[in-house]
Structure 1
Amino acid sequence: MAQEAQPTESLYDILYADRARLSSYLAQIDPNGVITGYKTSTTDGSSVGSELGGGVPTVASAKARYSIENKDLAERTFDPAAALPIEVMNRLDENGYIHRDLKNVPIGGLLLVKGRFALRDFSQFPAFWPLMKKILPFKDLATNANNQFSKKTISVNDIESLFKSLLEDIPQPVQLTFETSKEYLWSTLAEEGFATSPIDIFLKHKGIIPGEWYILAIVDGHPISTENADDASIPDSFGESLGIPFHQLAQDMRSLFGRPDNNYGVSPLVIFRQVHCSKVNG
């Protein structure tokens, strides 16, 4: 079912914006490129004039005229960066690049939908390692790994050590789950893209952000199934005997911390909500 069209003549509260990618899109559709600033100037002027005259009976009369002019030059510089996300979205929409029906968006296409979303912060996971050791299925992972590596024996301790190293060494970005009427979108978010600190959001909302939100995003992946699994084939150059087992182990680990199989993978460009105004009777 297609999503309703999002009006462009509105006031928006922007929570997240990928300005680097937005600038790249604008540079491709605008022949002038990305505008980095506006400057306007005004001039106010005034003048005062006076005339001196004199005469001598035997000398021709003479007159001298002078004027003093004052000019005030006022310049104002405007930064268009704040308007960039909505400006690019409107331009992309006008050129027909934005889809609103998730089912018909190709990989690499742009999608605009509304719904609600939740954020998850895994940056504190290393502190929970003693508890995670008791609940994660390390035995099953070790069994799967041994089924792949027929010449080696991988113990549960090996898998535990691997997970512990990943938690300590690999950065854990904020994760997003965006729910539309029927589908789920998943992504990671860069902290520098937030208009307000993610920590403030977590402390205030505990993850689920209330209200109706819109997301403009690049569709990177469809839900994973046995028919369209991205690990169906491995290039021969990766290593026939070594590559496939390691790849499968990485897939098992990703299933615990990465995108759920039934979610679409996206790269958000803008996350925003519409600001509704109400007229106050005077």
Structure 2
Amino acid sequence: MAQDLQNIESIFDFFYLDNPKIKSFYAQLNGLGALNSLKSTSQIGDTRKMEATVGIPTVTGGKMANDHSVNTTSEHLYDGIPTMPREMINRLDELGFISRELNQDMLGNLVLLSGKLGIIDIGVSKELLGPALNLHIKDLEKDNKTKKAAAELKKNKEDIVTFCKAIPFGLEAKVLVKNGETDSDGVGIADEVWMTLNRDEMVGSPHDINFKHGEYLAGEWYVLGVLDALPYDGFTFNSDQNEFREGIGMLIKLMKEFVGRPESAYGITPIAIFRVLKPRN
């Protein structure tokens, strides 16, 4: 069995997969569709020579021979879906669709980035917001200098909690990509790439991520996705407004500033997040 194994240099350990996009890309690359199953058929032929003694009365004796062939067919069915993500990534890379550069020229295109992966489960955090604000208010009330701020926060606490609980929070994620620059102290500077994750596309349970890792996961992670937002790319357009539309616009701006992508960060729609596993040798 060992001699039949492929020479595998690495394995992708997928953390997140946008399966609808992966199926769509895979189908466009092969022109047939997405995989459901793989069928492997092997056939082994065995030919043997059969001999029998023939007696010919009063004259002589002899032998008669004939070939006997036996064919054995073996079939194996495999789940083909897990093979699609890596095959898709490799094929897109071969065709030149994937860039490893992070700049404005890549806007609207596929990029493969590597760096430090951070994830915050805001959906869980919002359930704890009320008790957390109560503790914060008590801390503010201990100092005369912050008692006024405590009273203001206490007055607006209910509205803040209601506002936060009404927002359909998901998983907020970001990857810090080194850009080769350093600050005055010689510390490397990284670009922040912000994204949100769909819980249904997570490989495994997302609930224990922060309990295990805190905000940032250990090791180096890769993110494949479409770069679709640039730092400080706020867009405005003057059009006829009414009070209702202005109110909606202000609400959207408030939500983005409160829990959305930071102005200084890039934005990406992730397709796959993974780390690379390599053999010992």
- Work out whether the TM-score is over 0.5: yes
Structure 1's 187 and 133: CA in aligned 2 closer, same or farther, altered over 3 A? Answer: farther
- Size of the aligned set, in residue pairs, is 242
Distance 2:239 2:21 in 1: 30
Distance 1:55 1:39 in 2: 53
User: Are 1:221 and 2:221 an aligned pair?
Assistant: no
Distance 2:214 2:16 in 1: 18
Give the corresponding residue for 1:190. 198
3-state SS of 2:123 partner:
coil
Map residues 46-57 of structure 1 onto 2, 5 A cutoff: none
Q: 1:93-145, CA deviations, whole angstroms, 9 ceiling, x for partnerless residues?
A: 11111122111444321111211011101122123224347879xxxxxxxxx
Give the corresponding residue for 1:180. 177
State the AA in 2 paired with 1:269: I
Give the corresponding residue for 2:132. 131
Structure 1's 274 and 46: CA in aligned 2 closer, same or farther, altered over 3 A? Answer: closer
State the AA in 2 paired with 1:22: I
User: Are 1:206 and 2:203 an aligned pair?
Assistant: no
Structure 1's 22 and 235: CA in aligned 2 closer, same or farther, altered over 3 A? Answer: farther
Map residues 86-165 of structure 1 onto 2, 5 A cutoff: 86-124=86-124, 125-132=126-133, 163-165=160-162
Structure 1's 234 and 265: CA in aligned 2 closer, same or farther, altered over 3 A? Answer: farther
Unpaired stretches in structure 2, ≥5 consecutive residues = 1-7, 59-64, 138-152, 179-189
Structure 1's 158 and 222: CA in aligned 2 closer, same or farther, altered over 3 A? Answer: farther
Q: Which moved more, 1:194-203 or 1:94-103?
A: 194-203
Structure 1's 26 and 46: CA in aligned 2 closer, same or farther, altered over 3 A? Answer: closer
Q: Is the 8 A contact 2:230 2:266 kept in 1?
A: yes
Deviation at 1:183, TM superposition (A): 0.7
Give the corresponding residue for 1:233. 237
**TM-score, structure 1 length as denominator?**
0.71
Q: Is the 8 A contact 2:14 2:274 kept in 1?
A: yes
3-state SS of 1:15 partner:
strand
Distance 1:89 1:162 in 2: 46
Deviation at 1:34, TM superposition (A): 2.2
Q: CA RMSD in A?
A: 3.5
Distance 1:200 1:51 in 2: 74
Structure 1's 158 and 66: CA in aligned 2 closer, same or farther, altered over 3 A? Answer: farther
User: What percent identity do the matched residue pairs reach?
Assistant: 25
3-state SS of 1:245 partner:
helix
Q: Is the 8 A contact 1:105 1:219 kept in 2?
A: no
Q: Is the 8 A contact 1:105 1:111 kept in 2?
A: no
3-state SS of 1:86 partner:
helix
Deviation at 1:264, TM superposition (A): 0.9
Deviation at 1:192, TM superposition (A): 2.4
Q: Is the 8 A contact 1:117 1:179 kept in 2?
A: yes
Distance 2:242 2:18 in 1: 38
Unpaired stretches in structure 1, ≥5 consecutive residues = 1-7, 58-64, 137-155
Q: Is the 8 A contact 1:126 1:167 kept in 2?
A: no
Distance 1:68 1:169 in 2: 77
Distance 1:69 1:169 in 2: 73
**TM-score, structure 2 length as denominator?**
0.72
Q: 1:48-98, CA deviations, whole angstroms, 9 ceiling, x for partnerless residues?
A: 8687979999xxxxxxx9999765432101222222222111111111111
Structure 1's 191 and 94: CA in aligned 2 closer, same or farther, altered over 3 A? Answer: same
User: Are 1:245 and 2:247 an aligned pair?
Assistant: yes
3-state SS of 1:38 partner:
strand
State the AA in 2 paired with 1:229: G
